Amino acid sequence: MNSTTADHPIALITGGSRGLGRNAALALAGKGSDVIITFHNRNDEAAGVVSQIEALGRRALALQLNVGDSASFAGFARAVADGLATHWGRERFDFLVNNAGVGVHAPFENTDEAQFDQLVNIHLKGVFFLTQTLLPLIADGGRILNVSSGLARFSIPGYAAYASMKGAVEVLSRYLAKELGSRGIAVNTLAPGAIETDFGGGAVRDNVELNAYIASQTALGRVGQPDDIGGVIANLLSPENRWINAQRIEVSGGMFV
């Protein structure tokens, strides 16, 4: 990092109040990062994560954000700038993790425009323009990590629209790596496999048959847990991995290999 970075880096994680985002926030805090998380409408969950991070001895801040509403991004950036100044006496943060998202499961022939537009706004337009808006606040030498999905590599019926957005994010990540390289900002994509969370209604976690099928198709013989992902995110953002750039890193235990 450059001279604007304090001893403890600051990570901003969208959707950090629950699921993989929460796990990543705690893993990063455990490795010495301060954390800004965003939440959509569950302030209580976000406050709980902030308390957990503070219990680990790190500073944290929770800010409300709807990643599907690009018109709100300028105001959000001002809130981030204010939070940095108030809580850290800094003008920039170090790591941006574009994690927030929703799952839509629908056969291709039944996917309607409202579902498609929701996925575009959150997973593609949101990532594109939120990153663009926050660029002035990201420190030179920082990192951007965009969360994709194993579904951008393998195909499971019902995820045509969702996976298409994630495939686009993977292409976007390579372009960001190329265009932001002059500032020393590395950009990578993390692609989790199926994880037992409440994402998409918790189907992977709660549907016994689905869970067993995924485990049978995974080289390590089980379905992923949030703890399998958060530590990877924290490690990818560590100084030791600063030379990893423009890469897609799948964390799926070997699904469909």
Q: Specify the pLDDT at position 210.
A: 85
CATH number of 118's domain: 3.40.50.720
218 is a domain residue: no
256 is a domain residue: no
16 is a domain residue: yes
Q: Specify the pLDDT at position 84.
A: 98
Span 183-242, pLDDT tens digits: 999 999 999 999 987 776 677 887 888 899 999 999 999 999 989 999 999 999 999 999
| pLDDT reading at 1 higher than 70 | no
Q: Specify the pLDDT at position 6.
A: 52
Q: Specify the pLDDT at position 193.
A: 94
74 is a domain residue: yes
Span 134-190, pLDDT tens digits: 999 999 999 999 999 999 999 988 899 999 999 999 999 999 999 999 999 999 999
Bridge partner list, 192: 251
The answer to whether 115 touches 161, Cβ cutoff 8 Å, is: yes
173 is a domain residue: yes
Q: How confident is the model at residue 73 (pLDDT cuts 50, 70, 90)?
A: very high
121 is a domain residue: yes
The answer to whether 52 touches 109, Cβ cutoff 8 Å, is: no
Q: Specify the pLDDT at position 232.
A: 97
| pLDDT reading at 78 higher than 70 | yes
Helix/strand number for the chain, H first, E second? 9, 7
Q: For residue 132, what are the domain limits?
A: 10-199+225-251
pTM of the model: 0.94
Span 13-48, pLDDT tens digits: 999 999 999 999 999 999 999 999 999 989 999 999
181 is a domain residue: yes
Number of domains making up the chain: 1
99 is a domain residue: yes
The answer to whether 114 touches 94, Cβ cutoff 8 Å, is: no
The answer to whether 47 touches 53, Cβ cutoff 8 Å, is: no
Active site residues: 162
Q: Specify the pLDDT at position 35.
A: 98
Burial of 112 (0-12, 13-18, 19+ CB in 10 A): exposed
Residue 240: φ, ψ to 5°: -65, -20
| pLDDT reading at 110 higher than 70 | yes
Q: Specify the pLDDT at position 134.
A: 99
Q: Specify the pLDDT at position 200.
A: 65
